[in-house]
């Protein structure tokens, strides 16, 4: 009796057969380039907790959009770092039609019309307290009052030419409110990618540093972002956002939430994006720079695993590097 008949290792013996039987591989088409922009004079400013990531001014952002077009990266998601003097309790600067974000949208669309521009809808880069919405005296983030402001922010971004509005604030009902307003304004084709399953995560630390809200943030975001222990709640959030008119949904963070990526993408028939957030970026870079892991392999592996879990798109600060590696 020959032993054993079934030898799974046969399919792994050479590079060609491994490539031939591989089920998933990320491609440049899957990438969304997460990019920090700033309103300062310097073309580029380093972000200390995210080595290799720089805040770009408007001109550099336009150049980066051209670069994305050349590399074949479909879209860029921009996140603002503004002069702290422009922040207030209400995050008023978020509504400024000549503010940093609308300037970037216009410059980027002029430079590279074929690259999608995705804008975060939330107030945290603009508020002195660092929360995503308006707060009451006790510091509680007000849902419906915030939603009204987010709708205005979203409309302003759409009018500036944003292709995709991405509410990342986790207020209840905001997707429907934004969708209604877009319909009334005859902007039927503006996409909404909702951060539907967004967790109150420690992995956003470096991002808050990148947009300049970490020092300011009072308390935490646990009354609006989801508890990391919950899975069914993610499905509920996603269902609501789809009913309210979201075209795509996001799971965030990514790596520690692959089960959620899988459950969401299997359950619903809209594209699911996974966000490899700032803390995931920082961990890979830190270990890589110390020589503790092979960075290039770790990046490819994590993105491949997002795809395997069911992600249609991958939001990552490594997008440029990955697109170059994938060719």
Smallest separation (angstroms) from ligand PBG to the CB of 276: 8
Task: Between 102 and 111, name the residue whose CB sits nearer to ligand PBG.
Answer: 102
Binding flag, residue 168, ligand PBG (CB under 6 A): yes
Q: How many Å apart are CA 113 and CA 216, to the nearest integer?
A: 36
Query: Is 63 among the residues known to form the active site?
Result: no
Binding flag, residue 132, ligand PBG (CB under 6 A): yes
Task: Between 120 and 163, name the residue whose CB sits nearer to ligand PBG.
Answer: 120
Smallest separation (angstroms) from ligand PBG to the CB of 7: 43
Task: Between 26 and 133, name the residue whose CB sits nearer to ligand PBG.
Answer: 133
In the list 118, 277, 303, 309, the residue contacting ligand PBG (rule: CB under 6 A) is: 277
Lay out the site mask for ligand PBG across 283-312 (x = CB under 6 A, - = otherwise). Answer: ------------------------------
**Three-state secondary structure of the chain:** CCCCCCCHHHHHCCHHHHHHHCCCCCCHHHEEEEEEEECCCCCEEECCCCCCCEEECHHHHHHHHHHHHHHCCCEEEEEEECCHHHCECCCHHHHCCCCHHHHHHHHHHHHCCCCEEEEEECCCCCECCCCCCCECCCCCECHHHHHHHHHHHHHHHHHHCCCEEEECCCCCCHHHHHHHHHHHCCCCCCEEEEEEEEECCHHHHHHHHHCCCCCCCCCCCCCCCECCCCCHHHHHHHHHHHHCCCCEEEEECCHHHHHHHHHHHHHCCCCEEEEECHHHHHHHHHHHHCCCCCHHHHHHHHHHHHHHHCCCEEEECCHHHHHHHHC
Binding flag, residue 147, ligand PBG (CB under 6 A): no
Q: How many Å apart are CA 50 and CA 43, to the nearest integer?
A: 17
Residues 182-211 that bind ligand PBG (CB under 6 A): 204, 207-208
Query: Is 66 among the residues known to form the active site?
Result: no
Tokens, residue 192: 């909404």
Smallest separation (angstroms) from ligand PBG to the CB of 316: 9
Cβ-proximal residue to ligand PBG, closest one: 207
Catalytic-labelled residue, pool 87, 109, 221, 252: 252
Smallest separation (angstroms) from ligand PBG to the CB of 195: 7
Task: Between 69 and 191, name the residue whose CB sits nearer to ligand PBG.
Answer: 191
Burial class of residue 274 in the structure, from the number of CB atoms within 10 Å of its CB (0-12 exposed, 13-18 middle, 19+ buried)? buried
Residues 69-128 that bind ligand PBG (CB under 6 A): 120, 122, 124
Task: Between 55 and 208, name the residue whose CB sits nearer to ligand PBG.
Answer: 208
Task: Between 111 and 155, name the residue whose CB sits nearer to ligand PBG.
Answer: 155
Q: How many Å apart are CA 272 and CA 250, to the nearest integer?
A: 6
Smallest separation (angstroms) from ligand PBG to the CB of 79: 6
Smallest separation (angstroms) from ligand PBG to the CB of 187: 22
Catalytic-labelled residue, pool 87, 198, 221, 307: 198
Residues 51-80 that bind ligand PBG (CB under 6 A): none
Catalytic residues, by residue number, are 198, 252
Judged by the rule CB under 6 A, the positions of this chain that interact with ligand PBG are 120, 122, 124, 132, 168-169, 204, 207-208, 221, 277-278
């Amino acid at each position: 009796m020959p032993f054993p008949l079934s030898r799974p290792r046969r399919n792994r013996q050479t590079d060609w057969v491994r490539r031939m039987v591989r089920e998933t591989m990320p491609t440049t088409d899957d990438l969304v380039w997460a990019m920090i922009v700033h309103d300062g004079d310097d073309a580029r400013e380093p972000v200390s907790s995210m080595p290799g990531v720089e805040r770009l001014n408007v001109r550099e952002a336009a150049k980066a959009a051209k670069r994305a077009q050349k590399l074949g990266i479909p879209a860029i998601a921009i996140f603002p770092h503004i002069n702290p003097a422009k922040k207030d309790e209400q995050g008023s600067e978020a509504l400024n039609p000549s503010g940093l974000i609308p300037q970037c949208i216009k410059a980027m669309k002029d430079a590279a019309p074929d690259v999608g521009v995705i804008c975060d809808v939330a107030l945290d880069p603009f508020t002195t307290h660092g929360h995503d919405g308006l707060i009451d005296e006790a510091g509680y983030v007000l849902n419906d009052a915030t939603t009204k402001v987010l709708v205005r922010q979203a409309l302003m971004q759409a009018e500036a030419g944003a292709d995709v509005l991405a509410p990342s604030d986790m207020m209840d009902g905001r997707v429907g409110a934004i969708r209604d307003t877009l319909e009334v304004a005859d902007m039927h084709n503006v996409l909404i990618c909702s951060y539907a399953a967004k967790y109150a995560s420690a992995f956003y630390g470096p991002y808050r540093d990148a947009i300049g809200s970490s020092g300011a943030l009072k308390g935490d975001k646990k009354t609006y972002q989801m508890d990391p222990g919950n899975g069914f709640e993610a499905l509920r959030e996603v269902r609501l956002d789809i009913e309210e008119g979201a075209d795509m949904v996001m799971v965030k963070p990514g790596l520690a939430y692959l089960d959620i990526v899988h459950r969401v993408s299997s359950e619903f028939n809209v594209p699911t994006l996974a966000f490899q957030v700032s803390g995931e970026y920082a961990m890979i870079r830190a270990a890589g720079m110390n020589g503790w892991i092979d960075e290039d392999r770790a990046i490819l592996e994590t993105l491949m695993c997002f795809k395997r879990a069911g992600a249609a798109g991958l939001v990552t600060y490594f997008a440029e590097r990955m697109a170059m590696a994938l060719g």
